[in-house]
Structures are given as structure tokens and as C-alpha cells.
Structure 1
Amino acid sequence: MSSRVRDEEGDVDTLLDAAGAFPLDKYRFLRRLRETSTEQYYQLLCYYTQQVLPYIYTPTVGEACQQYHALRIQARGLYLRIDHRRSILSQLKAWPQKDVRVIVVTDGERILGLGDLGANGMGISEGKIELYTAAAGVNPAVCLPVCLDVGTNNTQLREHPVYAGLRAPRPIRQQVYDEFVQEFMEAVKIWQPHTLIQFEDFGNNNAFRILDKYKDDYCCFNDDIQGTAAITLAALLAALRVTGQRLADQRILFMGAGEAATGIASLISFCIHRRDGVSEQAARQRCHLMDSKGLVLASRTDLQHHKRPFAHSDVPPCATLIEAVRAIKPTAIVGVSAVADAFTPEVLAAMAELNDRPIIFPLSNPTSLAECTFEQAYRATNGRVLFASGSPFDPIVDERGIAHHPPQANNAYIFPAVGHAAVLTKSKRVPEEVFLVAAERLSVMATAAELQVGALFPPFARIRDISAHVMAAAAAHLVDAGLGAVPDGWPEQREGWAAAARQAMWSPPLPSVPVSRL
């Protein structure tokens, strides 16, 4: 890295510090910069992604969504209200953007681990859509954040004087909600036939149903289910490069049993099935889920349909996580519960006793809801932990002066590249297998030296080069599956596809003035 680049990175930190002492100050500064100096904003976003990422995405975006109604900011996405049904197509056609290729859509019911935030969910669509540009070079001119405003059951938010969303509860009748979503999907297909639709932060009850309903007929995916699954599988495979063990030999215990947990468990099971020839039913038995009532067991009569494939009959009932750890003896624990400090010192110590290199992934966002911190996991395991988290944590310097870097299992390593590959190939749909392909490609990209200090992924500062390789692998799968076509101008030889993917990325002009003068 040249001294000039190091100087520029220091300038970015200084610039952000000058915006205010709190992360939300920096979030608001970046939004204002986007409105007033668009080119300079995208220069920061694309050339200094690692520095600005925490303020446009996790962990700051969670607080921004909570406060969105009170921040006095102009939403830049499209609100579609359920009380304006039968006019969605006309609203889309009236939108100023005439060429849209990527839509991130939410209904605000389950924003991160924060619950129902209604129309404030626009903040998550806006944050996610920026990552398509930052990480995979999708031109921002073809990106559209959308919030389906169907009301909110958050009474305090709904009654707030400056709340801008629909001041009504969510629909009681499922049919009303489903017809609204269907109208949106059909309208998008008429308006922009080759548009990728990413579902974001829908509630558990709707997320699985919507994905199952549309995944075979639309170019769409659910990032909470499939993107989270892919990044977690990539982290697990990278950790196994350190331990030298097979995926099929792992016992993985999930704290949480919602869309993230079952999505991850499904992809892990699929990977075991594909890699080791284990039946999918047997592969699913490597995964154990815990919900608020304890372990997911076949004897329970209260299980939702998405939990049933992972119900076990060969383990005893366990009401607490420490009971489950002692009974199952997991090689890995994955936190997707949004319960802060769920990985207690007792749980972490037990994992350290059971495993030479315990795999501990507290994935819940924002940081305040993480199941444990990197420092807690590192200290409890005497530095032996293989760690990945949903929110970023600072490195720890050991007694030898070596810095151990906790990787963030950030979906932005996966979904922008997969999505851009689907756009470039004009894929008819986004199959489950493409997330396995993306996860396996990412899992081998960290160097031996990076793995040695705990970095399961290459640094996010290299995200565009990383995305180019993931895009190439995803595009190859989509073409081979007969779902898409080789993008125009790409070479016949697959070895050149990563370079072609890099060339296909949009970038703003290089900064002509020092960052400090932006």
C-alpha cells in the first residue's frame, strides 16, 4: 500500500470524525454528501469502502432505522402503500428512474434483530442497495430501494407525531397482504422484466412463504435466508481449513430457529450432501436448532414448518443453551437469536473444553444484540477460537504483539456479487445452488497468513476483487444451469471471467482532490 493511499485513508477517518462524535452523525453526513456532492459520495463509497461501511450499513444502520422517522432526512427510495392497491404499476411507471435492474424491498417487519419498524424499514433497503454499488459495482442509476408500507404493529412508533408511515396495524387477513405483494411482483415484471428483486427483513412467517412462492418464477432471493446462509457456510468452510476437519463431521448448534438459522442449516446440509454423498435427511441431523422453548425436537407439537426438517429424536430435551452444549457436544455454535450475551462465559468455557479450536459465530445484529464479543470468546478459549460475527469488533493484540482480526460475516461478501451475476446473465431465477457456489469460492480466498491471525476472509478493502471472483463463479453456474446467458463481451474461456466481471463494474472517477477537501 502506497503512502499516498495510507494518507488518504487517514483523511477519510478525519473527515468522518469531523462529521460528529456518534455513528449516527456520520450516517447523516454521508446521506447529505450523497445529495449535495453525489460524485464525491460515490468516490468515498467505492474507493474507501472499508472506512464508510460501518456507517452506511451494520452496525449504524440499525440505529438509523430506529430513528429514521425523527432524523429529518429525505427518503430516496420508493414507498408503496397497501392502501394504494391496484395502482402499483402506475406508481412504478411514474418513478423517475426508467432503467432499474436491482430492487431491494422490505416490509419493515423484522429489521435486523430490532423487530417491527414499519416504514422506517426504508433505511435497510437504502443501506443494502448501496452495497451493490460499493461491493460489486452495480451502477447506482439502476438500483432502487423499496419499502412496502403495510402498517406496523409497533404502537409506539405508529403513534409518534412525526412517523411518516401508514398509521395502521399490519393486515389481519393474510390474503390482503399476499395480494399486495403479488401485485408488486407482477408490476415489477411488467415494468422492468429483467430486474433482480432482493427480499430484505420480512418477518419469519412471511419470508419463507414469499420466497417459496416466487423463487421459481422470478429472479429473486431472500438475503436473510440465503445470503446469511452463504456467508456463514463460507466462514465455516474457511474455519475447517484451519482445523483440517470435514464438514460432514461437524455438530453445529444454533441459538435461534428463525429464517437465518434455518437458511444456514439448510445450506450447510446441502453442502454436506453434495460434498460427502450423505443423504440430505442425514446431513440435516448435523444441525441442531434452539428456539425460545428449547431444542427443536421431533416430539414437540408446536414446531413451525421451517423448523421441522431439523427436529431431532436422538437427543434429550434441553431448555438452556448450556444444557444443549453439554448434551450435543457441538464443534460449532452459531448465534442468530438477537439475544445479547446468550453465549455466556459458561457456554464459551464448555466449548473450549470440548474443542481444540472451537468455532463460535455470534451473528446477531446490531452489536448490542451480539451473543458475545470477540474479546469474550478469545479470552474464554485462550485465543483458540475460530470466530466470525455479524457486527464488527476490534482486533486483539496478543502477548507476542500479533494482532488477531475477528472477521465480520458480512453478507456484503456474497449478495452483491451473486445479484450482479444474475443481472449480467439475465438469469431467469436465482437457484439455491448458486449460494453454495458463492460460499465455496469465498471460503478459499483468505491466505494462510490471514487464517493464522483469525481472518477467515480477505479484508473488505479488497471487496471488488473478491466480488469479481464470486461473480465469475456465480455467472458460470447460472449459465451452465441454463438459466442465463454469457454476458456480452465476456470471453469463451472461463479463466478470464473474473477479469471480465471486474471490467463490468461501474466506478466513479478517481478523486481529483484530497479526501480532506471533500
Structure 2
Amino acid sequence: MRQVGFNLDTTSRDAVLQISARGRLVLVHPMANRGTAFTLGEREQLGLSGLLPSRVTTIEEQLRRTYAQYSRSPSPLAKFIQLTQLRDRNEVLFYRLLSEHLEEMLPIIYTPTIGEAIERFSHEYTGARAVFLSIDHPELVEQSLRDFELDADDVDLVVVTDSEGILGIGDQGIGGVQIALGKLGVYTAAAGIHPRRAIPIVLDVGTDNLGLLNSDLYLGERHARVRGERYDEFIDLFVQTVTRLFPNAMLHWEDFGAGNAHRILNRYTDEICTFNDDIQGTAAVVLAAVLAAVRLTGMPLAEHRVMIYGAGTAGVGVADLIREAFRRAGVSDDDAYRQFWAFNSRGLIVEDGKGVRDFQRPYARKRADVADWTVVDPARISLAEAVREVKPTILIGTSAQHGAFSEDVVRAMAEHCEQPIIMPLSNPTSRAEAQPSDLLEWTDGQALIATGSPFGTIRHGEIYHTIAQANNALIFPGLGLGVSVVRAERVTAEMIYAAADALAGLMNEYRPGASLLPSMSDLRVVAATIAKAVAETAEAQGLARRPMTNAIADIYQRMWKPEYPRLEILPPDSQN
């Protein structure tokens, strides 16, 4: 990080912060400001005498005060706003507070509260340290990226969204910048990616959200969402510019619409270091939960039958990676496809059905497969009808259809499967396909469950079931860390699989009711473990531009810890 008056080596855990700025410039710089923790000597040298209360405090005292303020906030959105303001005022203190209360605060800075913050972005706007790129001003793309004041070697991550497919709430226009900021917050808290080595970006291509277009407070471009050739040209301009300016960065795509997400990923995956969290991150964490659950059932993976209810961006990504696990278990591609049944808004996807997207076609069933089924309408085969005929062992929901996994569906599944694997993954909770308590009731406590939202522990009979949260935060921070440690040229399917396998390998507790996935409180250990697997896979594939000398040491040294750095106070006229 090199800015006028400030210089910090963001590649080292033990770097010294050099300051030649003075007075209020120091207090308004989030990475340099430490508020009342400045010593009296530092205050005198930096021109802060009289600008702070007299007493010098420790960071531990600051943490107690800020946590008490946080706890008094009356609503999740109020807590989100307070944490955002703290981050913009004192970045080290923000990340220290977050790291010490990560499990409690993750639902505030990330899902589900981030959804409300996105919807309210223009109404609650107080600033955002991000890059806003408008399709109406393509000539400003390069200058806008340069204005973020980071050099080519200073950036490990770029998180970008066009806000069309935000969580379960759809097109949110420019407000989607909050999801990019939230993701980077998790990258830092979980994996120690330095907050000044990442760039959050929103591509403002308009919005089809009529509520936003008709709001006087909306801050984005006020026209319908641009599509087609002009959109593709803007995406290509962005990719070419960002990869030229920051050649070592992983480009993380977030919450693009189903019509663009797979297409964009496929377009660039063999050219640049790129990753789509909705497709690959979701798939990896779900695969990890599936692998853990399959081990508990004792049934070989190759014998399982998988239903994907909601074969959109995330659902097909999940299917693709589970199919890769089938292949690794010795199942041919053709046989693996036959173990999957996928649904869209029109029911079971069949080869001659309507509304089938290109990326869904590999999972379309042949008409002959369903010819002898007993159904009401062959053109719209329901989940309940398919469950009765197929007798699935794994049911995964990415549909955002609340209650889709009804009692009839679940009981029918449980009749033919001793330990059904059921994963209602849609966010927020109001859109979940089923409630875990219901799933346990309808399966007599036998269901192996992972959800998208946090549900905690549920008692059924004498057993306490810890419900696994299939949160992408268990995957993407470690993936990004592993990629950055070795400066991987690409993110490959093998690296994604290695991340999922490493996550599944962390679960070795087989008591009744145990979670299928690690707790959110263990994210730093999880991230480091995944980073090692990803970095080693990149090396094995010959994609590491900076090979490791010692995997543990190299990863540990890259994991920034939120502590006030040692200061080197330079003369006011020094250039650093």
C-alpha cells in the first residue's frame, strides 16, 4: 500500500507502517488510524496532540467498547451500518472485532443481513471504498481502476458483480457493490487476505428493478439493464483492462444472472485466473457436505441418486462437481449423468421440454426415461412425482422456493432411503426449501442435513442435531489464499475439487447429530487447510508462478492478522 503520506508492505505479517502525513490526515486514513491507541509520543510526533482524548487505551479496551456499542444496535441492519462505519474509520480494529466474534458477526456482514443492506444501499449511502464502473462510460474504466491507488503487484483479488442475481432477491442495481465488499470482508477475516490487496467492483449496466428506477434516491444508471453485444463488449473491456493492470489477481465473479454467469466463466476460465463463487464455490461446499454425508450412510457414492431442485447457476455448478466426484469413484461420464435428475421452473428437465438453457442440457432426461411414469402432466413433471419414481438418496435445493421440500416429498424419499441426504440451500431463510426441524420430524431423525442459512442446533428425541451451514465462506477464502500464495495462472476444476476434498477431510466426528461441515468459528483453520490443498494442486499442475518453499510457512506468512503495525514516523516532507 503506497499512498501520499503512508507506506505499508501488505505482503508481510510483520510489516512496518511508514507515516509522513500529519494531523487529521492520519485520523482519516482507516489503515493508519488507531484512535485512542496512539501513544502520547506518537501523538506529539504525528501532530495529534489535542485531537484525541487524553487517555491512551489498548486495542483490547477499544474492542470492549466497540463490541458494547455493536450489541446495543437495535437491528441487524443497524449493526451492519455500525460495522461498516468502523471499517471506514479504523480498519485494524474492525477486523480484530470481526475475527474475535466471527460466528456471531458473519450473518451481519454477509448473508443474510447483506441482502437488506444491498436493497437499502442508495437510501443508506454513507460511502463505499469500491470501484464503480458504468457501461455508459467505458472510456473511464482504466482511469477508474487506477484511481483506486493500487499498483500491479499490490492486488491479489478482484471481486466483481453486475448485481443481477443477488442472493435470493434478484436484480439490485448498483447496490450489489455491498456483496463485493462483504465477500472481501470474509476473505480477510477468514483467510487473512490483506484488506488493501483486494478491489471490490460493481459493473453498473442499468437495472430492470422498477422500484429502483422509480426511486429518487437511486444512485446507479437510470435505465433498463443492458444486454447482448454491448454488454459482452463491456465485460471484455473490463476483463482486458483489469488483468493488464493487475496481472497477479484472481478475478472473482459474484451474483451474475443465470443467463450470463456460466457463459462468462466458460469464456474466460482458460485465459485468466478466474473463479465464480456462485457456480464453483457453492458446488465445492455442497460437495464437501455430500462426501461427509455419504461416508456416514456407508453407501458408495456411485450408488447414490441425486436430485437438483433449482438447476440454475448454483444448482448446475453443484451437479457438475458432484458428477466429477462420481467420475473419480470410477463411474463413466454417461453413467454419472444418468444418476442426476434436475428441475427448473417447469418441472423435471426433459430433452424436449421448454425453457431449457444450454448449461442445463447435459442434465436433461431422455423422454424414454420417463415414458412409463405415472404423472399428471408429462410436460411438467413435479418433484413429488419424480421422487416417487426415482427414489433418490440425495435431494439438493437451490430453487429459492420456500417449502418446496414438502412433507409428502420428504416422507416418500425416506420410505426408500434409511438416511436421506437433504440440503435446502436457498437463502435467505424465508426462501429455504424446508426447515431442518421439519426434515428431522418427517424422517424420524434420520435425515443428514445441510442448509444455506444458519439454523444452529435442533433437538429431536434425545439427540441434538447440529445443522451444517453450507456457506461458501467455508471455501472461497481458502481458495483465494491458496491462489495468491503461489500466484496461480488459472483456477482449475482440480483445484476446486481439492478445496472440497480438503473441507470434507476436516470432519471426523461421527457422533449422532454431528454437523456435516466445520463451524463458522473455525474459518481461519479451514481457510489455511484449503489454501494448502489448492496451492499444492496448482503446483502439481504446473500453474504456480511462485512455487512454495515450505507450504505451512508460506501460507502462514500470507495470513494477515489484525494488529496495529509498528510505526516508523518519517519527516513531514518525506516521499514514501
TM-score > 0.5, shorter chain as reference: yes
- In the TM superposition, structure 1's runs of 4+ consecutive aligned residues that sit over 4 Å from their partners are 8-15
Q: State yes or no: 1:477 paired with 2:530.
A: no
Which whole-Å deviations, capped at 9, do the CAs of 1:462-500 have from their partners, x for residues lacking one?
111111111111111101101114545x32xxxxx2454
For 2:243 and 2:300, how far apart are their aligned partners in 1? 43
For the residues of structure 1 that align with 2:68 and 2:292, how far apart are their CA atoms?
Answer: 34
Is residue 59–residue 365 contact of structure 1 (8 Å, CA) maintained in 2?
A: yes
For structure 1, which segment, 440-449 or 226-235, has the greater mean C-alpha deviation from structure 2 after superposition? 440-449
Please point out which of 166, 178, 181 is paired with 1:126: 181
Structure 1 residue corresponding to 2:480, chosen from 419, 426, 430: 419
Secondary structure (helix, strand or coil) at the match of 1:209 reads helix
Residues 1:510 and 1:242: Cα distance change in structure 2 (over 3 Å): farther
Looking at structure 1, the residues matched to 294 and 66 of structure 2 have their Cα atoms a distance apart, in angstroms, of 36
1:431 partnered with 2:492: yes
| 1:240-279 matches, cutoff 5 A | 240-276=294-330, 278-279=331-332
**TM norm structure 1:** 0.91
Alignment partners' CA distance in 1, 2:293 and 2:111? 23
Greater helix share, structure number: 1
* Aligned with residue 191 of structure 1, among 237, 245, 248: 245
Counterpart position of 2:112: 59
Of the two, which has the highest radius of gyration? 2
Q: Do residues 207 (structure 1) and 271 (structure 2) align? A: no
Question: Which one of the candidate residues 268, 282, 290 is aligned to 1:236?
Answer: 290
Unpaired runs of 5+ residues, structure 1, are: 1-7, 492-496, 512-518
Would you say the 8 A contact 2:481–2:527 is kept in 1? no
Q: 1:307 aligns with which of 360, 363, 386?
A: 360
Residues 336, 155 of structure 1: alpha-carbon distance in 2 compared, 3 angstrom cutoff? same
> Structure 2: how far apart are the matches of 1:456 and 1:279?
27
Q: How does 1:275-354 map to 2 (within 5 A)?
A: 275-276=329-330, 278-300=331-353, 302-313=355-366, 314-315=369-370, 316=373, 317=378, 319-354=381-416
Q: Which runs of 5+ in 2 are unaligned?
A: 1-61, 566-576
| Map of 1:143 onto structure 2 | 198
1:502 CA drift (Å): 3.0
Deviations 1:353-387 (A, max 9, x none): 22111111011111111111111212221211111
Letter aligned with residue 504 of structure 2: S
Asked whether the equivalents of residues 471 and 498 of structure 1 are also in contact (C-alpha less than 8 Å), the reply is no
SS of aligned partner of 2:275: strand
1:442 and 2:486 aligned:
no
d(CA) in 2 for partners of 1:395, 1:132? 26
TM-score, length of structure 2 as denominator length: 0.82
| Percent of paired sites with the same residue | 40
| 8 Å Cα contact 2:63-2:93 kept in structure 1 | no
Q: 1:253 is paired with a residue of what secondary structure?
A: strand
Contact 1:387–1:454 (CA<8 Å) still a contact in 2?
no
CA gap 1:349/1:433 in 2 versus in 1, 3 angstroms: same
Which letter does structure 2 place at the counterpart of 1:223?
D
Matched, 1:357 2:419: yes
Deviation, 1:229, is 0.6
2:92, 2:564 within 8 Å by CA — same for their partners in 1?
Answer: no
1:213-255 deviations in Å (ceiling 9; x for gaps) = 1111111011101111101100000101211122111111111
**1:147: how far off?**
0.2
SS of 1:68's partner is coil
Contact kept, 8 Å, 2:450 with 2:469, in 1: the verdict is yes
Q: Partner amino acid for 1:56?
A: I
In 1, Cα distance between the equivalents of 2:126 and 2:443?
Answer: 44
Counterpart amino acid of residue 228 in structure 1: T
2:465 alignment counterpart:
404
Q: Equivalents in 2 of 1:478, 1:273: separation in Å?
A: 21
1:133 partner letter: T
Aligned equivalents of 2:178 and 2:197: distance in 1?
18
The count of corresponding residues between Structure 1 and Structure 2 is 494
1:188-209 deviations in Å (ceiling 9; x for gaps): 1111111111000101111111
- CA offset digits 1:372-406 (Å, max 9, x no partner): 11112122212111111111113113443x43210
Give the letter aligned to residue 171 of structure 1. Answer: V
Partner secondary structure for residue 286 of structure 2: helix
Asked if the contact 2:213–2:223 (Cα under 8 Å) also holds between the matched residues in 1, the reply is yes
Return the offset for 1:47. 2.8
For the aligned residue pairs, the C-alpha RMSD in angstroms reads: 2.1
